[in-house]
Amino acid sequence: MNNKIWIGIVVVAIVLIVGYLFVGSGPTVSATGTASIKAMPDEVSVNVNVETHNKTLQGAQEANRAISEALVVELVKIGYSADELRFVNFYAGEEYDWSNGKQELKGYSASQQLVVKTSDTGKVPSIIDAVIKSGALVSYINFEISDEKMNGYQNQALEAASKNARTQAESKVKGQGKTLGRLVSLGDGNYNYGGPRPLYALKSSAMDAGAANMEARTAAINIAPDSQEITASVSATYTIGWF
C-alpha cells in the first residue's frame, strides 16, 4: 500500500475521532452561571402631582390647568423645554363624603402627573422650588439608571454570568478527570434590577402640601447617590471530552 493511501487513512481516522469528540453525541454537562455588578444611578426623577378641588367640575379643571401652566413656566426658567414636559394620567370627577355612613357629593377634583428628570443632582432643589412656586406637590423623588446606562450594565452582567457558567461546567468535569468539550446550547440570559431607589416619598395625600414639599426639598438638598445591584443568570450545556 503506497504512502498516499496510508496518509488518506490517517486523515480520515483523525477526522472521525475529532468529529466524535467534538461534534457527535455523547455525555454533556450543564451549568447555570450567575453574576452581580454594582451600578451607579445617573438620573434623578422628581414625580409631581397637580391636584385641585372645587365645588364645580369646571372650577377644578381650570384650577388644575392654571397650576400646571405655572409649573411649566417655572421649569422653563431653570432650563427645561416646554416640549419635554408632558403631563400624564389626567383625571377629573366627583368627590364624595362617606363620613356619615352614606354617599354625599362634596365637590369635584382634577389631577395629573408630571415626571421631571435630571442627570444633575444639584438641580433637584431648583426643581422642587419650581413645584412649590406653582402650587403643585412632590409625590416622590427617585434615583434611577438611564436606559442608555442600563443597557450597558445588563450586557456586562450577562457576559459575566455566561463566563461563570463555563467556569462551573469546567469545574464539574475536571472533578471527574475529564475536559470540557464544545458548547451545545446557551440558554436565554435573565437579569434583575430592583428598580428606582426612592429618595423621598409623600407619606400621605392628606399631608399638608407646604410641609410635604419642604420635606422633599430637604431630601433633595441632602442627596447622596448609592450604588444599585444588577444580577444576571445564564445557563449553558457542553459536551464532555474524553480526556
What share of the chain has pLDDT > 90, as a percent?
A: 64
Q: What is the per-residue pLDDT across 64-110, written as a single tens digit (0 to 9) for each?
A: 999 999 999 999 999 999 888 999 999 999 999 888 778 889 899 99
State the Cα–Cα distance between residues 237 and 169, nearest whole angstrom.
8
Please state the φ and ψ torsions of residue 227, each to the nearest 5 degrees.
-70, 155
Tally of CB atoms within 10 A around 177? 7
**Region for residue 189 given its phi and psi (left: phi exceeds 0; alpha: psi -120 to 50; beta: otherwise):** beta
State the Cα–Cα distance between residues 118 and 16, nearest whole angstrom.
62
What CA–CA distances, in Å, run from 135 to 72, 76, 90, 130, 160? 12, 16, 17, 9, 48
pLDDT at 15 over 50: no
By C-alpha distance, which of 183, 168, 172, 176 is closest to 243?
176
- For domain 43-144+199-227, the CATH class is alpha beta
Please state the φ and ψ torsions of residue 62, each to the nearest 5 degrees.
-65, -40
What pLDDT shows up at residue 162? 96
State the Cα–Cα distance between residues 163 and 113, nearest whole angstrom.
44
Considering the entire predicted model, what is its pTM?
Answer: 0.74
pLDDT at 19 over 60: no
Per-domain residue ranges of the chain? 43-144+199-227
